[in-house]
Amino acid sequence: MEEVPMKLNDSITTYDIAEALQGETGKFEVTSPTGERYFVTCQPGHSIANFEWAGSEPNLQPFLVRKVAQSVTTEGRSKRSAAA
C-alpha cells in the first residue's frame, strides 16, 4: 500500500519521527512529549537519519508532528560560490 503524503496542517503522533517523515517534503512542527517544539524541514532525496529522545526517562508518550508549510523549491536559485 502506497503512503499518502501529509497535507498542510495534518497532524500525526509517532514514536519514531524519522520513520514518520520518510518520503515527506515541507516544514514540520514536532512537539516532544514534554512540550518542547522543534521545526524539521524535509527535502526530496534527503532523509532524517536519526532523531532520538535525549530525556532521562524512557519515551512512553508519542511526539506530535504537524505539517506547517509545503516544500520550498530551489529551482532557479544559484548557490553562492566559495570564492564569493
- Round to whole Å and give the CA distance between 82 and 48: 26
* Ramachandran region, residue 35 (left: φ > 0; alpha: ψ -120 to 50; beta: rest): left
2-23 pLDDT tens trace: 678 899 999 999 988 988 998 8
Q: Give the residue, 43 or 28, on which the prediction is more confident.
A: 28
pLDDT value of residue 44: 82
pLDDT reported for residue 76: 44
Cell numbers at 78, concatenated: 544559484
Average pLDDT, the chain: 79
Please name which of 55, 18, 58 lies closest in space to residue 36, comparing C-alpha atoms. Answer: 55
